[in-house]
């Protein structure tokens, strides 16, 4: 949970701030269950009506040695500004009032349909957090994929692409993403004077038009979510790209070991490695679990939490399985 002195909170942290009556509890639960990344992802208010401008420090001034009767030169830090925009997602559902009258509990029937729309939003936001900006939709915010397509110098922490590693690749590939969520690192963002999370608006009974052009009375629900992604510290996020997905079916010990080595390399390039979450595809998650039966394994472990839930850790990082991470990505050329 985010600290009270921070400006970025997870959806669970925003729960009481969004609606003290608790009516948003089920929405948050459905979003988290369908896409685990939305459980850890923090959200903060932007400084623009369209998103957030971040001043990212690129160079830190190094002090000089001063001698008696001599001065020191003036120096300044290097900075660059990054503009991250938000995307307004909207959906509407309509339900024939006569269909509702046939139900024993019309409110419960309508509510069950609402949860399907919530899951749909969760799927789309999670997908765009990874792949946003790659399609031809001009208003789509940039996800992690498009921000990790350059492989930098692994010996220079200031170089672009320092936290992005090239695993070689094959015909069909997948990726692993590393994220340290937080106000000063990486966060979801909503517009200035806006609010976090999915908003539901009951528009009541309205006359609506069917596909054949006829009219009927329906209950209308409007859903909106204005959200984006900002990376305020490039060393708070990382990625392993071009992981050959063909090896998953029968990966050798050497292939598993190579993936673990790459995970460790990226992990150690991040600024605060103790707070990092790792996100991967389903087959990659299974491959990590198979490492548990390797007698030489020392980096993969299954941890049992206080509530009895088991979680997978690699090199001390919690691993999350995301259905939206593809295993047919085209190879990114170095």
pLDDT at 59 over 80: no
pTM: 0.85
Question: pLDDT per residue over 69-125, tens digit each?
Answer: 888 888 887 777 788 899 999 999 988 999 999 888 888 888 888 888 888 899 999
**pLDDT tens by residue, 184-196:** 899 999 999 988 8
Q: Do residues 229 and 44 touch, judged by C-beta distance below 8 A?
A: no
Phi-psi label, residue 12: left if phi above 0, alpha if psi -120 to 50, beta otherwise? alpha
Strand positions, DSSP E, the chain: 9-10, 42-45, 51-59, 78-96, 164-166, 173-179, 186-190, 199-209, 215-231, 237-244, 277-280, 300-304, 310-314, 317-321
Residue closest to 273 by CA, chosen among 236, 307, 311: 236
What's the pLDDT tens digit per position in 279-333?
999 999 999 999 999 888 999 999 998 888 899 999 999 999 999 999 999 999 8
Question: What pLDDT score does 5 carry?
Answer: 36
């Amino acid at each position: 949970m985010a600290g009270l002195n921070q400006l970025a909170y997870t959806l669970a942290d925003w729960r009481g701030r969004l609606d003290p009556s608790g009516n948003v509890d089920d929405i948050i639960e459905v979003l988290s269950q369908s896409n685990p990344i939305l459980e850890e992802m923090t959200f903060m208010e932007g400084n623009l009506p369209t998103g957030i401008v971040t001043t990212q420090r690129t160079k830190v001034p190094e002090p000089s040695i001063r001698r008696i009767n001599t001065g020191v030169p003036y120096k300044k830090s290097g900075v660059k500004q990054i503009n991250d925009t938000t995307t307004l997602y909207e959906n509407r559902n309509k339900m024939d009032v006569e269909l509702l009258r046939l139900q024993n509990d019309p409110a419960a029937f309508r509510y069950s349909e609402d949860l399907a729309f919530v899951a749909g939003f969760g799927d789309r936001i999670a997908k765009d957090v990874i792949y946003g900006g790659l399609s031809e939709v001009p208003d789509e915010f940039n996800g992690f994929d498009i921000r990790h397509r350059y492989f930098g110098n692994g010996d220079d922490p200031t170089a672009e692409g320092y936290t992005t590693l090239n695993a070689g690749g094959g015909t069909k590939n997948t990726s692993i993403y590393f994220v340290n969520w937080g106000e000063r690192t990486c966060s979801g963002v909503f517009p200035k004077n806006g609010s976090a999370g999915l908003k539901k608006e009951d528009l009541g009974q309205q006359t609506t038009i069917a596909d054949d052009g006829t009219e009927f009375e329906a209950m209308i629900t409007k859903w909106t979510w204005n959200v984006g992604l900002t990376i305020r510290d490039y060393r708070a996020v990382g990625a392993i790209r071009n992981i050959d997905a063909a090896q998953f079916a029968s990966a050798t010990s050497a292939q598993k070991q190579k993936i673990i080595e790459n995970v460790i390399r990226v992990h150690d390039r991040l600024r605060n490695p103790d707070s990092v979450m790792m996100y991967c595809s389903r087959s990659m998650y299974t491959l990590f679990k198979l490492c548990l039966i390797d007698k030489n394994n020392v980096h993969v472990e299954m941890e049992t939490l206080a509530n009895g839930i088991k979680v997978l850790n690699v090199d001390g990082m919690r691993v999350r399985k995301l259905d939206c991470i593809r295993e047919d990505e085209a190879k990114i050329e170095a």
